[in-house]
Structure formats: C-alpha cells, structure tokens
Amino acid sequence: MSKRFNLREFQQSVLDRLQAQVAGGGDHASTLGVQVGQEYWLVDMVDISEVLPLPPLTTVPLTKSWYCGVANVRGNLYSIVDLGVYMGGAPTPHEGQSRVLLAGQKFAFNAGLLVSRVLGLRNATEWERSEQDGEVRLKDGSGQVWRKLELAQLLQQPEFLQIGA
C-alpha cells in the first residue's frame, strides 16, 4: 500500500523550514521565482500563504478580462486574478504548470494570483539590482532579468480593486 501524500502538510513543512532558516540568519532564499507569460518575477515568501494548482472557478459576470472568478479553497472564497492579463499580457492557460499564489494572511485580502508556472526558491541577495520606472529589477548570474512583485502595492491599486467591467 502506498503512502498518502498530503500537499497541505508538505507546503506547511516547506514554509516552516524557510521560517526557521530566516530566523537562523545567514544566506537564505526568501523569494519565490514565478513566470508570468514570458516574464520572470520574484515574490517574497512572507507575502504568500500558499501555492496551489488552479482550483475550480465560479465565473462572475460583468467583470474585467483579468478577473478569472471565485474559488473555494478549504471553505474560504478567493478572488482569482490572471496576473498576466492584469499586467497587459496574454491569458494564462488554466492547465498544466499554471499555479495560484494566495495572498498572505497579513493582507486580510482573499486574493489569488494565477501565474504561468512556479520556478522555485531564489536567493537574490547577490544579484545585480536596478530600478526602472519605480520598479525593482534584478539580474541573476546568467543574465536573466527578474522583476520584483510588491504584493502589498498590487493589492492597494484602485484598478485591482475594481473588477467590474
């Protein structure tokens, strides 16, 4: 008989290890790399509570094209936003490697961001940093440019809060 794999417990153990590593100091990977369309983004781990496959969605009529709908995640309703479309790109496929990043509890905002795929933890502490139009950009050792997603700023944008078409 095979062991049952509990995704929730696995995610919690990863978060616990990351928090222990942060508390211990030293070098640590505190950002999650994600792909949105053809662009690479970094999200602070403290800003997200969970990463999950796209749950079943209930569409909401008369909303903007970037608003995917509402999802029930363990009894809590989350607004799911296609981050690629919101940022002016193409729609994210609702299959395969696409994932939803749930906003952290500290924001008191039940929102999920649909991204093309999750690329794993990144330690960007030694990457080349620059700012362009008020946005932080980082360049890794291979020359790949990463943009920094400031979730708190995104959740406060008036456009993000107005989903009605």
Average pLDDT over residues 75-98: 94
**In the chain, count of helices (H) and strands (E)?**
4, 12
Digit-coded pLDDT (tens) for 12-56:
777 676 666 555 554 456 899 999 999 999 999 999 999 999 999
* Residue pair 164/63 in contact by the 8 Å Cβ criterion: yes
DSSP string covering 5-56, please?
A: P-HHHHHHHHHHHHHHHHHH-SS---EEEEEETTEEEEEEGGGEEEEEEPPP
Phi, psi of 87 (to 5 degrees): -90, 10
Taking the domains of the chain in order of start, what are their residue ranges?
Answer: 29-161
Predicted TM-score of the model (pTM): 0.80
Residue of 160 and 29 predicted with greater confidence = 160
Q: Please give the pLDDT value at position 76.
A: 93
**How does the average pLDDT of the chain come out, rounded?**
88
Determine the Cα–Cα distance for residues 63 and 37; give it in Å rounded to an integer: 21
Average pLDDT over residues 55-65: 96
- The residue written with tokens 């999200």 in the block is 43
User: What value, to the nearest 5°, has the Cα angle with vertex 46 and ends 158 and 95?
Assistant: 75
Q: Please give the pLDDT value at position 1.
A: 43
Q: Please give the pLDDT value at position 82.
A: 97
Average pLDDT over residues 58-87: 96
* pLDDT band for position 5 (cuts 50, 70, 90): low
Q: Please give the pLDDT value at position 147.
A: 94
Residue 73 in this model has a pLDDT that exceeds 60: yes
What's the token pair of residue 92? 């994210």
Q: Please give the pLDDT value at position 2.
A: 47
Digit-coded pLDDT (tens) for 107-123:
988 999 999 999 999 99
Q: Is the dihedral of CA 89, 60, 81, 55 positive or negative?
A: negative
Indicate the length of the chain as a whole number. 165
Domain 29-161 matching CATH 3.30.420.40: the answer reads no
